[in-house]
Chain A
Amino acid sequence: QVQLQQSGPGLVKPSQTLSLTCAISGDSVSSNSAAWNWIRQSPSRGLEWLGRTYYRSKWYNDYAVSVKSRITIKADTSKNQFSLQLNSVTPEDTAVYYCARDQNWDFLHWGQGTLVTVSS
């Protein structure tokens, strides 16, 4: 049974870096058939796919155009987890952030969601 457990602060100051982690159980972050995604949701922007990391003999990343200049998604194989870093945040980055696994085009497993508020 795959489970994704998110952790990270719920409050970030403007211009600082948002950092979240998604711990994986029941699968490996190095799986050759899965991709590990970050998605966010806000009333103003709806659901927004932010990016992913995946391993196919080497590591790959894809990012949404809207955040490409500010985002980094990394896998940590020693802890079987992956992380999101979003730089230079503004109040517009306030949202519920989710991690999710995509395997064979199926986004079946999601984390519990983390509300991140950007405010001073």
Chain B
Amino acid sequence: AQTVTQSQPEMSVQEAETVTLSCTYDTSESDYYLFWYKQPPSRQMILVIRQEAYKQQNATENRFSVNFQKAAKSFSLKISDSQLGDAAMYFCAYRRGISNFGNEKLTFGTGTRLTIIP
């Protein structure tokens, strides 16, 4: 079974600074996807960024980027120029690859609560 571990229950960062959230995972599969989701106080789960395991290039979405280390099974999220609106719970999630047809199940980590200090 796949597991996802987020070892930082809480993090804080000064506005405009950079913060990195950690995530490690365990799987025996070679085809999979990794995601970072953001859940603000409204509880709406919002996709931040996605990484396909077969891609060596790290995904980037504006101020959000990942450091994907496949051999180490590590998938960290870097938020640059932190903004007040970035305050939320951040969840790392794993999903088996498309080759495993019919498995849309996401396995989530326990989350990291990010606080932005004005």
Co-complex (A, B): no
Residues of B at the A interface (CB closer than 8 Å) are: none
Residues of A at the B interface (CB closer than 8 Å) are: none
